[in-house]
Structure 1
Amino acid sequence: MSGHYDVDAVRKEFPAAERITYLDSGFQTPLALPVKAAIDRFLREGLETAGPKNVWLDRVEAIRAKVAQFLGASADEIAFTKNTSESMNIAANALPLRAGDKVLMLHGDHPNNAYAFLNLQRRGVTVEFVPMTAIVNAETIRPHIDANTRAISMSLVTFHAGHRFDVESIGALCREKNLYFIVDVMQAIGVVPIDAKAMGATVIGSGSHKGLLVPQGLGLLYWDKARTELKPAYLAAASLAEIPSDLIARPDKLKLAASARRFELGNFNLPAIQALGASLDMINAIGVQNIQNHCFDLGDHLIGQLDMLDIRLVGPRERRYRAPHIYVIALPAAEWLGHFEENNIRVSPERDGIRVSFGMFNTFADVDRLIDVIRRRGVKPSHRAA
């Protein structure tokens, strides 16, 4: 039983959680009933009225404001994208980097973050990979900064072992050194509280199909609007300060929007954005801090049970260095994934084992069932742990 919110009531909003032991929200969160209702409303409106587009677009702006509040930003600093990868590519190409400039990244971070910046090598930009250790903060990054360093790009939470890095200290370092700071929050958003201003980020990118509960196909981008030198690599009418009323392109009127709309390319993923409005209402009603604390409690319980079985946790154990919801168990995925599938437990194979990732609906009973399935395959409590 959680002491942070009524998990049983929340769980009823996720029908999949009653049919399967779902421990894979780091891959994709099951659909929640309020999110489905928002999509159904959109589809019903399209079916019955052929689409009240102005109503839909008004909702987009209302949800943009919700996203901004959720991230501690203003609405004109939020753009809607397709996914995290697109947000990272928008950021990489918007930075005014030149040949000889260097970007620092973490070795082993998400590949689609890395590829966005590695693609700049064609312009002579250098990417240096900093070793990923259990602790990454300003002091571990500082020695890698030299006169050519212009930007740092990294994840807040890693997908493969649940590291959580001290992005606020790194953001402060970037301000000190006048560096751009790009942060991928995909594995954190919706579970870990995020304050874009406290983070000191230039750009934050994310998708929405994990902690934000929305089906795939919608991304978010935060842009520090003080950084007006960041300009989009692509241009559409929607990107301009003044969209021509007759929709005739004029080469002499290319002034960019003063808002993050400069990074948008036109038609939105309307059903997903309206689903996001419903999911943010759910998350805000519970409180993201409460979700984080509940997932930490689940993680503590999981770690304690693994210790009893003398099974190693791949990632960090201490709360201050670990994500609340992502844990990789040192069990070979090739040997164990099928066993979990046969027992109706959904997890993911990861680099060094089996990844367990919690959502707001998971309970201690889910953890106990996972441990029981491990134990029934022949893993016994260790004498050392006992």
Structure 2
Amino acid sequence: MSRHYDVAAVRKAFPAAEHVVYLDSGFQTPLSRPVKEAYERFLQEGFETAGPKQIWLNRLEETRTKVAAFLGARPNEIAFTKNTSESMNIAANALPLRAGDKVLMIHGDHPNNAYAFLNLRKKGVEIVFIPMTEVVDAESFRPHIDERTRAISMSLVTFHAGHRFDVESVGALCAERSLYFVVDAMQGIGVVPIDAKAMKATFIGSGTHKGLLVPQGLGLLYWDATRTELEPAYLAAASLAEPPLDFVARPDNLALPPTAGRFELGNFNLPAIQGLGAAIDLINQIGIENIQRHCFDLGDYLIERLNGLGVGLVGPRDRQHRAPHIYVIALPAADWLDYFTQNGVRVSPERDGIRVSLGMFNTTADIDRLMEAIRARNAPSARARTAVLSKLG
């Protein structure tokens, strides 16, 4: 049980969690019943009526409003994209950076955030990586800022060790120094509450297939609508303030709307967007703060059990600096991943071990199954060590 909500009831919405010990939501969350039903509704409507397009577009705007409220933003500040990588590339290329300008990032952060900005080197933009430490905050970046620094880009939560960085202090530093601030929220969104305005972010990019419960192929982009100087690197009729009704492109009609629609190209992933609306309803019904607290509790339990087995944890342990839901066990992935899979435990390999990533549906029983698998494999070696010690004695 959870102290925060009825996990048994929530778990029923995720049938896959009953068939496998699913500790891999940082890769892809299992499909939930509400999201599945939203997809099925879309397919049924398309099958029976060839597509009620305006109804689908109305639902798209309803989901945009839900996303905005979820991020503490306004609907006109939300764009739909393909994934996090596309969102980060849109953001990187929208910043008015020129040769000689400098962007600060964190060494070892997600590569698809880094590559979006490293690609700007062909324009003469310098990308400088600061060290990744257990705590990253404004003071981590401050010594690296000079007169050429124009932007900082970083993750809210790291995928490989579960750091939760102090993005609000970094956002305050960016506001103080008039820097653009770009945040990759993919590994935190849906579990860690996000307030775009408190972050003082220029852009926040994310996909939806982890904490937001939707299959791959849909992303989000928050844009601070006061930054009207930021424009897309590409253009389509859907990006315009006044798309031509006769579908004839005219050189004198290139004005952009005062909304995040300027970063969209049209032909949306409509079934995924409807699924996202259902997913946000589910998250709101439980409460994002409750989900975070539940995952923190499970994380505490996981750490306690690992300590009991003498198995290490990679990354921060303090709640202030760790993500509630991502933990990397110091077991070599090459030696352990297949073993866990064969024993019905779904986890991911990471740089320094095995990643356990929790979801709203996980329970202490899932952690216990994981611990049982570790203990069972370590038991023979433990018995062997005991036998050797007894002979030595």
Aligned to 2:10: 10
SS of residue matched to 1:30: coil
Q: Deviations over 1:138-188 (max 9, x none)?
A: 111101111110000000000000000000000000000000000000000
2:221 match: secondary structure: strand
Residue 41 of structure 1 is matched in structure 2 by 41
Mind listing any 5+ residue stretches in structure 2 that lack a counterpart?
Answer: 387-393
Distance (Å, rounded) in 2 between the aligned partners of 1:198 and 1:109: 22
CA shift, 1:309, in A, is 1.0
Aligned to 1:183: 183
Tell me, in whole angstroms, the C-alpha distance in 2 between the residues paired with 1:90 and 1:261: 12
**What is the rounded CA distance, in whole Å, between the counterparts of 1:156 and 1:179 in structure 2?**
18
Q: Map of 1:222-233 to 2, 5 A cutoff?
A: 222-233=222-233
The answer as to 2:131 corresponding to 1:122 is no
Residue 353 of structure 2 is matched in structure 1 by: 353
Q: 2 CA distance for matches of 1:281 and 1:85?
A: 25
Helix, strand or coil: the match of 1:150?
strand
Q: What is the match of residue 107 of structure 1?
A: 107
Identity %: 74
Q: Which residue in 2 is equivalent to 1:368? A: 368
Alpha-carbon separation, structure 1, partners of 2:37 and 2:51: 17
Map of 1:297-316 to 2, 5 A cutoff? 297-316=297-316
Aligned counterpart, 2:197: 197
The answer for the alignment partner of 1:343 in structure 2 is 343
User: What do the CA deviations read for 1:76-131 (whole angstroms, capped 9, x no partner)?
Assistant: 00000000000000000000000000000000000000000000000000000010
Unaligned runs of 5+ residues in structure 1 are none
Partner of 1:294: 294
Which residues in structure 2 correspond to 1:1-386 (within 5 Å)? 1-379=1-379
Amino acid at match of 2:356: V
Residue deviations 1:243-274, cap 9 Å, x none? Answer: 11111111011000110000000110000000
SS at the partner of 1:319? coil
Q: Give the CA RMSD over aligned residues.
A: 1.2
Cα shift at 1:230: 0.5
Aligned match of 2:391: none
Compute the TM-score of the two structures, normalised by the length of structure 1.
0.98
Deviations 1:195-217 (A, max 9, x none): 00000000000000000000000
Q: CA deviation at 1:58?
A: 0.4
Tell me which moved more, 202-211 or 304-313.
304-313
CA distance in 1, matches of 2:208, 2:183: 15
For residue 73 of structure 1, report the CA deviation from its aligned partner.
0.2
TM-score, normalisation: structure 2: 0.96
Give the match's secondary structure for 2:378: coil
Moved over 4 A (4+): 379-383
Distance 1:194 1:185 in 2: 9
Determine the C-alpha separation between the residues in 2 that align with 1:182 and 1:28. 23
Secondary structure of 2:170's aligned partner? helix
Tell me the distance in 2 between the aligned counterparts of 1:348 and 1:282: 25
- Cα displacement string for residues 313-365 of structure 1 (whole angstroms, at most 9, x for unaligned residues): 00100000000000000000011111101100000000000000000000000
Structure with bigger gyration radius: 2
For 2:286 and 2:250, locate their aligned partners in 1 and report how far apart those are by CA, in whole Å.
Answer: 49
**How many aligned positions are there?**
383
SS in 1 for 2:26: coil
Offset of residue 26 of structure 1: 0.2
**Paired residue for 2:389?**
none
1:310, distance to aligned residue in structure 2 (A): 1.1
| Matches of 2:378 and 2:361, distance apart in 1 | 29
The one-letter amino acid paired with 1:366 is D
Q: Distance in 2 between matches of 1:310 and 1:328?
A: 14
AA at the equivalent of 1:109: D
For 2:43 and 2:159, how far apart are their aligned partners in 1? 33
State the SS of the aligned residue for 2:320: helix
Distance in 1 between residues matched to 2:21 and 2:68, nearest whole Å: 33
- The secondary structure found in structure 2 opposite 1:251 is coil
Q: Aligned partners of 2:124 and 2:332: how far apart in 1?
A: 40
